[in-house]
């Protein structure tokens, strides 16, 4: 059993806390939204009144926050690095830009702590089921030290390399997620337009070279698979606005590194359009509805 401080109890963080408690870990949780903290307490966690309180007596502190600026507010803006006990391990599971991840590592190291960047893949359903994939950047020995806790929220922990490498893997994964879904949606919209049955297309592609996660597990058409969010009025497994955030992280990295990203730029514009149409809080697979409504110039 580990003593875990958990900061950030949103759609991903709260189910992760539930899994940590179920695995026997003692969790002290904090969120700026009191209702989220109350829900964690109902799941068996202890409430912290402050960020610093979540780190008191913790063996490991996990942050699961929306953006890099929020992670740095914890590492740099709060006093948690001054109040945490010797030997506390810091793990940021947020999906953020590499520069912010490296800064978090730098701050933790300067304060005498080991740290990992460990963004996740699997969405809300994966968080609920404890089947997330964790892409981890940091020292191998630190990954080993955190593994018992990380295993409680995931089905796979992948050590990607040194500090920041977890975030590099995550942004590349998310670029492919966004692109695969957009082209899957466009193809199904075309099939509908030309009178081809969606179930027939689904069956054909799932045993053909167009197969992808967007097809097999998240197809954006109702009546095909239970795990697709189209089956649930596009209530989010992962919101459009969060996916666009990840796509923009990739685009910023591409610009900084001098890499051409023509597909990424086009995909970013699609999801921007979907958000402008009011779909920011809906699952990203609702891009199919936006594509259907687009008029060809």
Tens of pLDDT, residues 157-172 = 999 999 999 999 999 9
Could you say which of 170, 199, 245, 282 is catalytic? 170
Domain boundary among 114, 139, 162: 162
CATH number, domain with residue 211:
1.10.1040.10
Q: Answer yes or no: do 157 and 186 share one domain.
A: no
CATH number, domain with residue 102:
3.40.50.720
Rounded-to-integer distance, Cα 213 and Cα 180, Å: 8
- Residue 10 is part of which domain span? 3-162
Confidence bin at 227 (pLDDT 50/70/90) = confident
Q: Answer yes or no: do 174 and 155 share one domain.
A: no
Q: Answer yes or no: do 238 and 111 share one domain.
A: no
> What pTM did the predictor assign?
0.93
Q: What is the pLDDT of residues 230-250, one digit of tens each?
A: 999 999 989 999 999 999 999
Q: Answer yes or no: do 125 and 216 share one domain.
A: no
Domain boundary among 129, 162, 195: 162
Q: Answer yes or no: do 28 and 134 share one domain.
A: yes
For the chain, what is the domain count? 2
How confident is the model at residue 237, as a pLDDT?
86
- Is 170 a residue of the active site? yes
């Amino acid at each position: 059993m580990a003593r875990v401080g958990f900061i950030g109890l949103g759609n991903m963080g709260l189910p992760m806390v539930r899994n940590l408690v179920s695995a026997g870990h003692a969790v002290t949780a904090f969120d700026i939204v009191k209702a989220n903290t109350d829900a964690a307490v109902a799941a068996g966690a202890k409430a912290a009144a402050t960020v610093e309180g979540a780190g008191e007596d913790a063996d490991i502190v996990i942050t699961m926050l929306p953006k890099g600026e929020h992670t740095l507010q914890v590492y740099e803006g709060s006093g948690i690095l001054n109040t945490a006990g010797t030997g506390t391990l810091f793990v940021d599971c947020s999906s953020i830009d590499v520069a912010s991840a490296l800064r978090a590592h730098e701050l933790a190291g300067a304060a005498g702590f080991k740290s990992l960047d460990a963004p996740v893949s699997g969405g809300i359903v994966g968080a609920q089921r404890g089947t997330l994939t964790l892409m981890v950047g940091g020292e191998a020995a630190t990954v080993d030290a955190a593994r018992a806790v990380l295993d409680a929220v995931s089905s796979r922990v992948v050590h990607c390399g040194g500090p920041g490498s977890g975030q590099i893997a995550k942004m590349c994964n998310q670029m492919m997620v966004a692109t695969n879904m957009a082209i899957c949606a466009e193809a199904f919209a075309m099939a509908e337009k030309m009178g081809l049955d969606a179930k027939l297309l689904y069956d054909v592609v799932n045993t053909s070279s167009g197969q992808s996660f967007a097809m097999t597990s998240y197809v954006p058409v109702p009546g095909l698979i239970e795990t697709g969010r189209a089956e649930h009025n596009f209530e989010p497994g992962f919101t459009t606005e969060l996916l666009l955030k990840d796509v923009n992280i990739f685009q910023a990295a591409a610009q900084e590194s001098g890499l051409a990203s023509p597909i990424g730029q086009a995909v970013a514009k699609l999801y921007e359009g979907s958000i402008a149409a009011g779909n920011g809080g809906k699952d990203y697979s609702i891009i199919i509805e936006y594509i259907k409504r687009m008029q060809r110039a």
